[in-house]
Amino acid sequence: MDIKNSRRTLDLYETFARVKRPLKLTELSRLLEAPMSSCHQLLRTLENGGYLYELRGKAFYPTRRMLHNVEIIASKDPVLSVLHAEIEQLRDRTGESVILGLQMDRQAMILDVCESPHSVRYTASSGELRELHSSSIGKALLGAMPEEKRRALLPTEPYAKLTEKTITTYANLKAELDLSSERGWYASFGESVPELHAVSAPMAFAGCTFAISVAGPVTRFEEKLDSHIHELTQALKRVQTLDNTSEAEP
């Protein structure tokens, strides 16, 4: 029951973020697909804790207490408090979106995103998941693993075919990973999303393995591929220096 309530609390905040307006008990019950009694108890618990307030018409909206707590937590993040500035700099140098991720179970989870200033750009949000076999971040993380661990994480063949270019067999994926390891960078050229190109590389930081990816539309990406790879490589060198002097804990 505690796990269900915790998940429902997270779902409630995500619902407010999605609809961007106060909600009544009946609306929340419908949107959360939860019983009215359970939603009422959750709302009153959060209200008593100072996380929600009630408006006229018995609609509810989050207070800024959660935002305040989250800002404090984010300011002490042992990884992003150091790396976010580097991700921003790489975004500015390439003009494309830059993503930081790490392995979570059988997928890659996005930790941080600095989106391109262009109107047409790759967009993503922290906490989103990507497939290991088709995304550039996933490939970089796979390439940094021992083969035994890699095989254990990958799905049964054929892998999910997200586009016409997605690699669906281990033999073909391993061949690409071997080549990518030798050249020092990994790529996903239209393999996870059509018309999206991305290059990535793994990096060790604070005792963990992460991957940084530069991603953008093929129309801009192809002509600047060499430049993006160069900037990515330079960013990794700077991060290595930061890690040697950082007090971040794993």
CATH number at residue 59: 1.10.10.10
Has residue 116 got a pLDDT over 70?
Answer: yes
Residue 33 lies in a domain: yes
Question: Looking at residue 248, what is its pLDDT?
Answer: 42
pLDDT digits (tens, 9 = 90+) for 1-39: 467 778 999 999 999 999 999 999 999 999 999 999 999
- Both 98 and 140 in one domain: the answer is yes
Averaged confidence pLDDT in the chain:
93
Q: In which domain, by residue range, is 7 found?
A: 2-68
Same domain, 31 and 145: no
Q: For the segment 148-190, what is each residue's pLDDT rounded down to a tens digit? A: 999 999 999 999 999 999 999 999 999 999 999 999 999 999 9
Answer yes or no: is 250 within a domain. no
Report the candidate in 77, 139, 84 with the shortest Cα–Cα distance to residue 108.
139
Please name the amino acid found at residue 24.
K
Residue 59 and residue 81 in one domain: no
> Where among 49, 68, 87 does a domain terminate?
68
Q: Write down the pLDDT at residue 5.
A: 79
What is the reported pTM? Answer: 0.84
Last-in-domain residue among 68, 96, 119: 68
pLDDT at 71: 93
Q: Within a domain: residue 232?
A: yes
Residue 231 — pLDDT band, cuts 50, 70, 90?
very high
Mean pLDDT on 47-65: 94
Report percent pLDDT > 90 for the chain.
Answer: 89
Selection from 39, 44, 42, 12 nearest residue 26 by Cα: 39
Q: Are residues 108 and 187 in the same domain?
A: yes
Residues 126 and 234 in one domain: yes
Q: Is residue 165 part of a domain?
A: yes
Interval 197-219: pLDDT, tens: 999 999 999 889 999 999 999 99
- Where does the chain show beta strands of DSSP type E? 23-24, 52-55, 59-62, 97-104, 107-114, 129-131, 186-189, 196-205, 208-217
Q: Where a domain ends, among 48, 68, 88? A: 68
